Amino acid sequence: MDRGSDTVVVQPPLLDRLPSRRPGVCCRIMNHSGKDFILAEIERRRVGAIIRTEGEGLASDAMKAAVAGGFHMVEFTLTTPNALRLISEFAKNTDLIVGAGTVMSPQEARQAVDAGAKFLVSPVCDAEVIAEAKTLDVVSIPGTFTPSEMVAAHRSGADLVKLFPSPGNIAAYVTSVLGPLPYLRIYPTAGVTPENFIEILGAGATGVGFVGSLFDVTDLSARDFAAIERRAAGIIQHLP
């Protein structure tokens, strides 16, 4: 979009502007991988695992199960104890895109990126956090709900917009928004399940994030990581 006018320039997806890659083969994520590269990888991988727990060890083990099941995009919310250490740990795996969630200030953005985060997610739209992500050359995904909030985030420089909270019928909502605003890259999280994510992607969402529907609270309490791995594998198996 040209911010100096009302003209909307719809760019083709970044994937269409990069060399083709064989399906199922993940590009290595290096320390110097810039925002455009990461954004293209997010568009290609399409599904992310998002963990929020009250324990560092539990978060690590649960996310390892999701990775073992086939997830290659992971997010640790900064409300999780020692989230920065978890980001650093998982960023050592160059098959993974690692991000930080619940980023609420430029300082938290810098700390997350220093730890290895390649994308920053917030539950709200904060122009200062978006600007800091641009300075740090990482992907910004602020939280939005209404079309007006999404456009405001886009005009502020957001790379994707997180749909939060869930509108109920997520796929129908995404379709409605993208009708008049096809240039938006929408990334729903809350309300995404193994049962509805295919429909949401089919509606035009750039990607989706799995939270409680992947990391079931009962499985976490029981430390049943095998169940999480099986659920993750089932999601990946059905990914278009």
Strand stretches in 64-118, DSSP E: 73-77, 97-101
Contacts of 184 (CB under 8 A, 6+ apart): 150, 151, 154, 161, 177, 178
d(CA 118, CA 100): 8
Q: Report CA-CA distances (Å) from 129 to 64, 98, 139, 184, 239.
A: 28, 18, 11, 19, 31
CA–chain centroid gap for 135, Å, is 19
229: annotated active-site residue: no
134: annotated active-site residue: no
| Given 75, 89, 132, 229, the catalytic residue | 75
The DSSP string of 10-75 is -PPPGGGGS----TTPPPP--TT--HHHHHHHHHHH-EEEEE--S-HHHHHHHHHHHHHTT--EEE
Classify the C-alpha dihedral 88-92-93-96 as positive or negative. positive
Contacts of 1 (CB under 8 A, 6+ apart): 7, 8, 9, 154, 155, 183
* Widest distance between CA atoms in the chain: 55
| Given 41, 89, 132, 162, the catalytic residue | 162
Q: Length of the chain, please? A: 240
Q: Which residues are catalytic?
A: 75, 162
